[in-house]
Structure 1
Amino acid sequence: MRVCFFGLLLWCGIATAQAAAFDHGAWDGLLQRHVVALAQGQATEVDYAGMARERVRLKVYLDALAAVKPAEYGQWHKSDQLAFLINAYNAWTVELVLTRYPGLGSIKEIGGLFSSPWKKRFVSLLGETRSLDDIEHGLIRAESVFEEPRIHFAVNCASIGCPALRGEAYVGSRLKSQLEDATRRFLADRSRNRFNPKTQRLEVSKIFDWYRQDFERGWGGYTTLSQFFARYADVLADTDDGRKLLRAGQARISHLDYDWTLNARGS
């Protein structure tokens, strides 16, 4: 009986720790007010002027992110951890844009000849001052941690060529469905991914060139990029013949140019 009692206490403690994941409500509100959906949500634009008017709210949220200690983060469920990191990356990217907005045509203008906005160390997160690259490559993409390639359709680089900034915060309890929805919306955007029936070629975003290995590490049982595309043949191709070719893994792949224009409303 005593063992059962202490076992119950232990289970309750774990459940409580996991249930106390970070509240992203403030970020969710900002996104709902200042992210504008285009083409049924396949793309979005950001009202940076509106974000700037609420910059105090954004900074309060960023301060709350910064206050999370590594030990607290370590108690969360993995899905809550990943949602936290994605939201942190996206929120800090918006903050970075606001440091130069208006008058900014591309996030790549932030930095210099020998530096990039993604290597700038300005993010206070989990006890360290980090860069956006540190968050994406050192935490989100760290090998044998999350192993979730669909994060590439969730993290947003403030550019038209990038997958849409979602109009809501990512949350652990719905993360799988949110990532799947973001993936399908991005792949359905014909300006960035399309099967060309004339050339029998699948023309896709440079993301699949830059991060090919992430899609071939076994997620979903897939070890090749062609297998990943076969899973999403229904949204990548508009004809039955095109879908059959993708499902058979027989389509040649080419990569489209990436548009680094700022994803600003009205740009």
Structure 2
Amino acid sequence: MMKVYFSFIFCLFLNLSAHSQNFDHSLWTSILQKYVTNDGRVDYKSIQSHPENLNIYLQKLSKAKPNKTWSKNETLAFWINAYNAFTVKLIIDNYPVKSIKDIKNPWDKKFIIINGQTMSLNHIEHDILRKMDEPRIHFAIVCASVSCPKLQNEAFTASELNTQLTNAAIEFLSDSTKNTISKNSLELSKIFQWFKKDFKQHGSLIDFLNQYTHIGISGSATIKFKDYNWNLND
């Protein structure tokens, strides 16, 4: 009887372990809370002066082994955080700069190593994240620019991901410096122009937008796109 009991406990432990979180992003949260304001401004100068914790977190990311046993939410959270953390690394390695565009080939530069594979920011965005059919990633990954969605001052996590992505979408749409929304007229971020295919997976762009705004946009609303400000989000 005792053997059966311990076998049950052991199997339960294995089952819980298999479904536990594969990667701890708490260090990234502590970095973000120390150096990122509530409105998404990043103190790159201070991070550059004290890069120790960022480097430790990046090393942890590099040693991780994301694979098919991870849940979709775990995988999304991992790669969103990786994109944002390595973007910060790219900026502080070149700081001071006025814009990420002042760095040569910033998105194609292969400076990221994860699980033995060398990759670029574009690889993470286009070859991993966009293929996961979650358009709200575009409100979570941040290219260090004023017109980007703000860098959240907490890490994305598997357990809170849906709430975090929804809140990021609502926040981005309600920011009048990035999107001006009324019932019959839209002035939208160019993110919606560049990645329109991602936002039309289950209907029109307006169908997508109406999920994250209380305005009640008309299906016949006119759409224009705002100029994109590439100045650094510092």
Cα gap change, 1:209 to 1:7, in 2 (>3 Å): farther
Q: Please report how far the alpha carbon of residue 128 of structure 1 lies from its aligned counterpart in structure 2 after TM superposition.
A: 0.4
Query: Does the 8 A contact of 1:230 with 1:249 survive in 2?
Result: no
Q: 1:95 aligns with which of 89, 95, 119?
A: 89
CA offsets per residue over residues 181-202 of structure 1, 9 Å max, x none? 11111111001101257xx420
The aligned runs of 1:159-170 (5 Å cut-off) are 159-170=145-156
Query: Does the 8 A contact of 1:153 with 1:179 survive in 2?
Result: yes
Q: Which residue of 2 aligns with 1:190?
A: 176
Indicate whether 1:203 and 2:204 are aligned.
no
Give, as a single letter, the amino acid of the residue that structure 1 aligns with 2:171: R
Cα gap change, 1:11 to 1:224, in 2 (>3 Å): farther
Q: Determine helix, strand or coil for the equivalent of 1:36.
A: coil
Query: Does the 8 A contact of 2:173 with 2:213 survive in 1?
Result: no
Query: Does the 8 A contact of 1:159 with 1:261 survive in 2?
Result: yes
Q: Which residue of 1 aligns with 2:116?
A: 127
CA distance in structure 1 between the partners assigned to 2:213 and 2:57 by the alignment? 39
User: Greater shift after overlay, 11-20 or 119-128?
Assistant: 11-20
Q: Please report how far the alpha carbon of residue 230 of structure 1 lies from its aligned counterpart in structure 2 after TM superposition.
A: 2.1
Unaligned runs of 5+ in 2: 1-5
Q: Determine helix, strand or coil for the equivalent of 1:250.
A: coil
Q: Please report how far the alpha carbon of residue 17 of structure 1 lies from its aligned counterpart in structure 2 after TM superposition.
A: 2.3
CA offsets per residue over residues 229-255 of structure 1, 9 Å max, x none? 222331xxxxxxxx34x1x41211111
Q: Which residue of 2 aligns with 1:58?
A: 54
Give, as a single letter, the amino acid of the residue that structure 2 aligns with 1:27: W
Indicate whether 1:49 and 2:45 are aligned.
yes
Query: Does the 8 A contact of 2:21 with 2:74 survive in 1?
Result: no
CA distance in structure 2 between the partners assigned to 1:147 and 1:228 by the alignment? 14
Q: Please report how far the alpha carbon of residue 26 of structure 1 lies from its aligned counterpart in structure 2 after TM superposition.
A: 1.1
Q: Please report how far the alpha carbon of residue 21 of structure 1 lies from its aligned counterpart in structure 2 after TM superposition.
A: 1.6
CA distance in structure 2 between the partners assigned to 1:215 and 1:11 by the alignment? 41
CA distance in structure 1 between the partners assigned to 2:189 and 2:26 by the alignment? 31
Cα gap change, 1:9 to 1:138, in 2 (>3 Å): farther
Indicate whether 1:158 and 2:154 are aligned.
no
CA distance in structure 1 between the partners assigned to 2:29 and 2:201 by the alignment? 31
TM-score normalised by length of structure 2: 0.92
Query: Does the 8 A contact of 1:27 with 1:61 survive in 2?
Result: yes
CA distance in structure 2 between the partners assigned to 1:49 and 1:232 by the alignment? 34
Q: Determine helix, strand or coil for the equivalent of 2:181.
A: strand
Identity across matched positions, percent = 41
Q: Which residue of 2 aligns with 1:13?
A: 14
Q: Please report how far the alpha carbon of residue 50 of structure 1 lies from its aligned counterpart in structure 2 after TM superposition.
A: 1.8
CA distance in structure 2 between the partners assigned to 1:45 and 1:109 by the alignment? 19
Give, as a single letter, the amino acid of the residue that structure 1 aligns with 2:122: D
Structure (1/2) with the larger helix percentage: 1
The aligned runs of 1:206-221 (5 Å cut-off) are 206-218=190-202
Cα gap change, 1:194 to 1:60, in 2 (>3 Å): same
Cα gap change, 1:130 to 1:14, in 2 (>3 Å): farther
CA distance in structure 1 between the partners assigned to 2:15 and 2:42 by the alignment? 38
Structural RMSD (CA): 2.3
Query: Does the 8 A contact of 1:36 with 1:46 survive in 2?
Result: yes
Q: Determine helix, strand or coil for the equivalent of 1:74.
A: coil
CA offsets per residue over residues 38-65 of structure 1, 9 Å max, x none? 3xxxxx1001112113212111110111
Indicate whether 1:82 and 2:79 are aligned.
no
CA distance in structure 1 between the partners assigned to 2:145 and 2:69 by the alignment? 34
Cα gap change, 1:29 to 1:215, in 2 (>3 Å): same
